[in-house]
Amino acid sequence: MDHLDEIALEELQDALDNVEGKKPTKRLLAAIAYKNGVTQTELAEWYDVQRRTIYSWLKRLDTDESLEHAVTDAHRSGRKRKLSEKEQKEFEKAVHEPPEEVGVDAPAWTPALVQQYLGETYDVEYSIPSCRRLLKEAGLSYQRPRRTAAKADVDERETFHEDGGKWTPQ
């Protein structure tokens, strides 16, 4: 089966000017090369993909829709959030306060503390990297301890260094 018989090379080149993104551009470049006589096997080697992938790229252009739309992937919503919108807002409000305000005995929020808090409060499990992401989404940034002046409050300095840093509003 010959692909792209009904599509002119100029149409592919015009579509290439109008698409955005790495994948759609790569797909159109492969189609242009194929139209210029490069085999699917050669294209698979060039792009370091399976020959079947090249076949799929070319096949998706055999459609009545615009070329720009044909080479673009449909939106994928991803996995559903574990926290509802209401719970997410409550969580964000909580982490903008010291942990003591929500009944947690700790000087500052850490990803491990957030993981424990979410499990106990909302009965959901998050990984440590996801807890870091949640803190960042809540508008907090990680502050590393820096050298402190000799005149700094000793208790505050020791607490900060023992915690290894803290998450603070940006």
What confidence tens digit (pLDDT) does each residue in 35-83 have? 999 999 999 999 999 999 999 999 988 888 888 888 988 888 888 889 9
Percent of the chain with pLDDT over 90: 50
> What tokens were used for 119?
């499990």
Q: How many CA atoms lie within 13 A of 58 on its CB side?
A: 23
Q: For residue 3, which of 42, 30, 26 has the smallest C-alpha distance?
A: 30
Kindly state the average pLDDT of the residues 82-106.
Answer: 91
Please give the residue that has the higher pLDDT: either 1 or 124.
124
d(CA 97, CA 62): 56
Angle at 5 between CA 4 and CA 10, to 5 degrees: 70
The per-residue pLDDT for 1 is 43
